Each structure stands twice: as structure tokens, then as C-alpha cells.
């Protein structure tokens, strides 16, 4: 069965001794992985198929637990589960995605082919903000490729990841192939130093991403880490201003701004555009309803994750005021009757933010939108390009030339054209640039199958094809 280790990272196998004599020590593959990796990909795909059915069966239950632990609304929780489920659906294509290449008659009597083999035991370390989607982004491709997988979810909302592991078990995943360990830095360090683990996928804040990437790589592991963000949305004078304002409200304040693809910076081009935009944003933002998910449709977004997160957001808001930005929607005194001790944060909108301010430089990860006014398109593009983060960005315009130029030149991983949160679908890949990602290859899509496999290339010739005796030359196959 898929076992779940609830507390002690000491439970993580730290020895390179293979659990079965058949496993070669140098490979350090766990016994369960060896068997799972040898299972044909069609059978592994069937486990994924059944898992999708179970996710749909339990959608309401999962969403309820997710909302009660995380705080996001039920529709948002269902979106979290759905976007993970779609990656599992993509993984059902494993038999096709794992096919190698073949060259017939690469030389006299010689055939050449490649195969993709699992990397062994992989681990995923995931953040609090998508407790269903991101664990599935990691476990789906890793398992479909034939790896064993160890999931270390966020200690702040670990229940749904555990439920996902139970559903994988119910779907037919063999014993020991998936393990969940809970904990924080101590558990992560055990993963980073365990010689049995060959690859690590991380999603979280940039300082931790850098740490995990450095320590994991120096321990000889394959590592990909996805970090924080500061996503800019450029609003050109010709944009539909109502559409742009609606998009900014959804992308800036949805999930209390706790999304790595949230828009946290609006860049209107020209003062007239900025004035029109701010005028449309203020009433929309003032109307937002903040409250517990149990209030159903009466709530647009819920609390932030912890008291510390709330304190950090409000501290950054104060710094924005002190550094001279204009707070045009002030949520600082927001209080929810009956929930005075809750981590609810009112929505904030800043105008006249400049490059040097902390609210512009740092990821706030809360319901705070900063407006930086640019005089020209080039200045707006320069803002997105100069920022240290490069996860996502968007442009709102009716002009095809400008949109095309923006998509071609901006040094950011995911681009939206009149789309504020351009999260690629499961069969494309997800990943940022600059300080938003470390390592090669993106999450989900074809890249994930490359990350969780190693390529092996075989050159074969059978005795009847051997025409010559020994040759000491390194020669072309002709």
C-alpha cells in the first residue's frame, strides 16, 4: 500500500543499501520502484485513469477539506483540484510519451534506438498555496514514468496531499511506490541528503528554491525548483479598460493574492490610461467580499495562510505608504465581525509606485496591487524585463504588433495576451525565468516526462552484420 509517514524524517531511508539483492547498489533504487518501473506503461496509465475517476468521485469532499484547511473558496478549491487532475489525464498518455526513437540501418547491419528509463526514487517538495494541484503536478508524471515518489507537502495544509495518496492507493498503485512525509526544513534536509533519492522537484519561495537547488545539485541529484514571482500586467491605451480592470481584480485579489501567477503590478501606459484604469478599479475593489469559505457565494476571497503572512503583508503596505506610494484603496483597517482573530486581509490598491519601493521589489503574496505608471510601451516592457522575477506577465491591447513584440522580447516564462493569468494547460509546460525557476525543464507537459526519465541509447549489430575484423579507428558508420 502507499504508506504515509506522518512525522519523523528519521523514517526516511538514509542507506544506499538496496532493499533487494537484485538492485545494483550504484543505482540506489528502492525495491518497490524496481517492480513499478518494470510494469508496462499501459498498466501504469490505467492506475492514473482510475485515480482520475476517484478524484471526480471525491471532488466535493476534497474541496471541503482543502477550503477548511487553506481558506480559499470552494470554487477556487475545485479549480485547484481540477488543474491537478488535468495533469494526471495528460499522464495517461505515458505509453506514447515514453516511446523512444529508432534508426534502422544506422550503419552496416547496425540499428540504433533510445529508451526512456525512470530516474529511480524522486521527491517533490510543495508549497501551501495549491495543496492539490502542485502535488499532482509532481506525483503524476513521476509515477507514470515508473519512478517511486516521495511527497513532502507544505506543513501548513497537508491533509489533501494525504487524501490524494490514499486515492492513489485505492486506484491500484502498489505498496511503497508513493510515500508522503510531513514536516518542514528537517524533513526537506533529509530528502536533500538521502542517497536513495535521485531527483527533486520543488515549488515554493525563491530563497528556499535557491537553497534546495544548491544543496540538491551538490549531492548529485537532478533538481528543478520553481520560485516566487512579481507578475506585471501592461495596459496599453487602446485596451478595453473594463476588461482590463476586471482581469486585474480577478488576477490580483483571487485567492487573496496567494498565487504565483497572481498579477501584483499593473503598468498602465500613459497618465490618461492610468487615470481611466484607477477610476475603474477602485469601485470594483471596494466591492470585494472577504470572508470564510463557509459563506459560499458571498465571499470573493478568504483569509491568508497564517498570522505571520498577514503581519508581513501589512508591514509591506506600511512601507509602501512610508516610501511615498499613494494608497487609493486602503484595506488596513479591515475587520470581519465574529472573526477578529482570523487572518483576513482587506484589499489594497497602490498608485504611483516606483521601482525602488519595497512593495515593487518584493513578492507580497497578499491582496495588494501596485500601479506603476509608464510613459511609453518601451518603459513598461523595461519594467517587466528588469525585475528579478520572471514567472508570468500579461499585456492588454487591441494592437497585434504590440502584443507580438511583447511576447517575443519579454524575458518571462509565461505570457498572456489579454489573458491575465496565463497558466499553461497540462499538455504544455509551466515554468518561469530568472529568479522564478532554477534548473532545466518545466513542470508538466512533455518536459515533465524528460525530467523524470533518463535517456539511454543502444547501438546494436548482430553477428551476420559483422563483415570486418578488428578496427582501431574511430570511424563513421558507412
Q: Which is nearer to ligand NAD, 202 or 350 (CB)?
A: 202
Q: Interface with ligand NAD includes 422 (CB under 6 A)? A: no
Grid coordinates representing 337 are 465581525
- Nearest Cα neighbor of 373 from 306, 431, 325, 321 is 325
Binding string, residues 256-275; x marks residues near ligand NAD by CB under 6 A: ----x---------------
Q: Interface with ligand NAD includes 126 (CB under 6 A)? A: yes
Q: Which is nearer to ligand NAD, 257 or 346 (CB)?
A: 257
CB of 225 to ligand NAD, least distance (A): 9
CB of 239 to ligand NAD, least distance (A): 26
Asked whether 256 and 368 are in contact (CB, 8 A), the reply is no
CB of 82 to ligand NAD, least distance (A): 16
Q: Interface with ligand NAD includes 154 (CB under 6 A)? A: yes
Handedness of CA 325, 335, 253, 206 (dihedral sign): positive
What residue is closest to ligand NAD based on CB? 204
CB of 389 to ligand NAD, least distance (A): 8
Order across the sheet with 4-5: list the strands.
4-5, 178-181, 148-152, 121-125, 199-203, 222-226, 437-438
Of the candidate residues 9, 18, 118, 127, the single one contacting ligand NAD (CB under 6 A)? 127
Of the candidate residues 164, 167, 188, 263, the single one contacting ligand NAD (CB under 6 A)? 188
Binding string, residues 23-62; x marks residues near ligand NAD by CB under 6 A: ----------------------------------------
Q: Choose one: 62-70, 75-83, 173-181, 182-190; the region binding ligand NAD (CB under 6 A).
A: 182-190
CB within 8 Å of 348: residues ≥ 6 apart: 317, 327, 329, 330, 331, 332, 367, 368, 369
The size of the interface with ligand NAD (CB under 6 A), counted in residues, is: 27
Q: Which is nearer to ligand NAD, 185 or 287 (CB)?
A: 185
Q: Which is nearer to ligand NAD, 52 or 208 (CB)?
A: 208
* Subset of 190-249 contacting ligand NAD (CB under 6 A): 203-205, 208, 211, 226-229
CB of 293 to ligand NAD, least distance (A): 19
CB of 412 to ligand NAD, least distance (A): 12
CB of 367 to ligand NAD, least distance (A): 15
Q: Interface with ligand NAD includes 125 (CB under 6 A)? A: yes
The residue whose grid cell reads 534548473 is 439
Q: Which is nearer to ligand NAD, 260 or 313 (CB)?
A: 260
* Subset of 426-445 contacting ligand NAD (CB under 6 A): 432, 436
Q: Choose one: 128-136, 285-293, 400-408, 466-474; the region binding ligand NAD (CB under 6 A).
A: 128-136
| Cα 437 from chain centre | 10
Task: Point out which residues pair with 454 in neighbouring strands.
Answer: 117
260: annotated active-site residue: yes
- Residue 419 main-chain phi, psi, to 5 deg: -130, 120
Of the candidate residues 365, 377, 396, 451, the single one contacting ligand NAD (CB under 6 A)? 365
Distance from C-alpha of 165 to C-alpha of 68, rounded to nearest angstrom: 19
Q: Choose one: 52-60, 110-118, 183-191, 416-424; the region binding ligand NAD (CB under 6 A).
A: 183-191
Task: Point out which residues pair with 113 in neighbouring strands.
Answer: 102, 458
Pairing label, strands 110-118, 414-417: unpaired
Q: Annotated catalytic sites, by residue?
A: 260
Sites of contact with ligand NAD (CB under 6 A): 125-130, 152, 154-155, 184-185, 188, 203-205, 208, 211, 226-229, 260, 363, 365, 391, 432, 436
Amino acid at each position: 500500500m502507499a504508506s504515509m509517514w506522518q512525522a519523523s524524517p528519521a523514517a526516511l531511508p538514509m542507506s544506499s543499501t538496496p532493499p533487494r539483492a537484485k538492485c545494483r547498489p550504484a543505482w540506489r533504487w528502492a525495491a518497490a520502484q524496481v517492480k513499478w518501473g518494470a510494469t508496462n506503461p499501459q498498466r501504469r496509465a490505467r492506475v492514473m485513469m482510475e485515480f482520475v475517476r476517484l478524484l471526480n468521485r471525491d471532488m466535493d469532499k476534497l474541496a471541503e477539506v482543502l477550503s477548511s484547511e487553506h481558506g480559499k473558496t470552494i470554487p477556487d478549491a475545485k479549480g485547484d483540484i481540477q488543474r491537478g487532475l488535468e495533469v494526471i489525464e495528460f499522464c495517461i498518455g505515458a505509453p506514447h510519451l515514453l516511446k523512444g526513437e529508432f534508426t534502422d540501418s544506422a550503419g552496416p547491419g547496425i540499428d540504433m534506438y533510445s529508451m526512456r528509463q525512470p530516474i529511480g526514487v524522486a521527491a517533490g517538495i510543495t508549497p501551501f498555496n495549491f495543496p492539490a494541484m502542485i502535488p499532482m503536478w509532481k506525483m503524476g508524471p513521476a509515477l507514470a514514468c515508473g519512478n517511486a515518489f516521495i511527497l513532502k507537502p507544505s506543513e501548513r495544509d497537508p491533509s489533501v496531499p494525504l487524501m490524494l495518496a490514499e486515492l492513489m492507493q485505492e486506484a491500484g498503485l502498489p505498496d511503497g511506490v508513493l510515500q508522503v512525509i510531513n514536516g518542514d526544513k528537517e524533513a526537506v534536509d533529509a530528502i536533500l541528503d538521502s542517497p536513495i533519492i535521485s531527483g527533486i522537484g520543488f515549488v515554493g519561495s525563491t530563497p528556499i528554491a535557491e537553497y534546495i537547488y544548491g544543496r540538491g545539485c551538490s549531492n548529485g541529484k537532478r533538481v528543478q525548483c520553481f520560485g516566487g514571482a512579481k507578475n506585471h500586467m501592461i495596459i496599453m491605451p487602446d485596451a478595453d479598460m473594463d476588461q482590463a480592470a476586471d482581469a486585474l481584480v480577478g488576477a490580483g485579489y483571487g485567492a487573496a493574492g496567494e498565487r504565483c501567477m497572481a498579477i501584483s503590478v499593473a503598468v498602465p501606459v500613459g497618465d490618461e490610461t492610468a487615470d481611466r484604469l484607477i477610476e475603474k478599479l477602485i469601485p470594483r475593489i471596494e466591492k470585494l467580499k472577504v470572508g470564510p469559505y463557509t459563506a459560499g457565494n458571498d465571499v470573493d476571497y478568504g483569509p491568508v495562510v497564517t498570522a505571520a503572512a498577514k503581519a508581513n503583508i501589512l508591514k509591506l503596505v506600511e512601507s509602501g505608504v512610508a516610501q511615498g506610494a499613494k494608497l487609493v484603496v486602503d484595506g488596513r483597517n479591515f475587520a470581519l465581525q465574529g472573526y477578529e482573530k482570523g487572518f483576513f486581509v482587506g484589499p489594497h490598491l497602490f498608485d504611483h509606485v516606483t521601482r525602488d519601493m519595497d512593495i515593487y521589489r518584493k513578492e507580497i503574496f497578499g491582496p495588494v496591487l501596485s500601479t506603476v505608471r509608464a510613459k511609453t510601451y518601451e518603459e513598461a516592457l523595461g519594467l517587466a524585463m528588469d525585475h528579478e522575477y520572471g514567472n508570468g506577465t500579461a499585456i492588454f491591447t487591441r494592437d497585434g504588433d504590440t502584443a507580438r513584440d511583447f511576447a517575443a522580447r519579454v524575458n518571462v516564462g509565461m505570457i498572456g495576451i489579454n489573458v491575465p493569468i496565463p497558466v499553461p494547460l497540462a499538455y504544455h509546460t509551466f515554468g518561469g525565468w530568472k529568479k522564478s525557476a532554477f534548473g532545466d525543464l518545466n513542470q508538466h507537459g512533455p518536459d515533465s516526462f524528460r525530467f523524470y526519465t533518463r535517456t539511454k541509447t543502444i547501438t546494436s549489430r548482430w553477428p551476420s552484420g559483422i563483415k570486418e575484423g578488428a578496427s582501431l579507428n574511430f570511424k563513421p558508420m558507412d
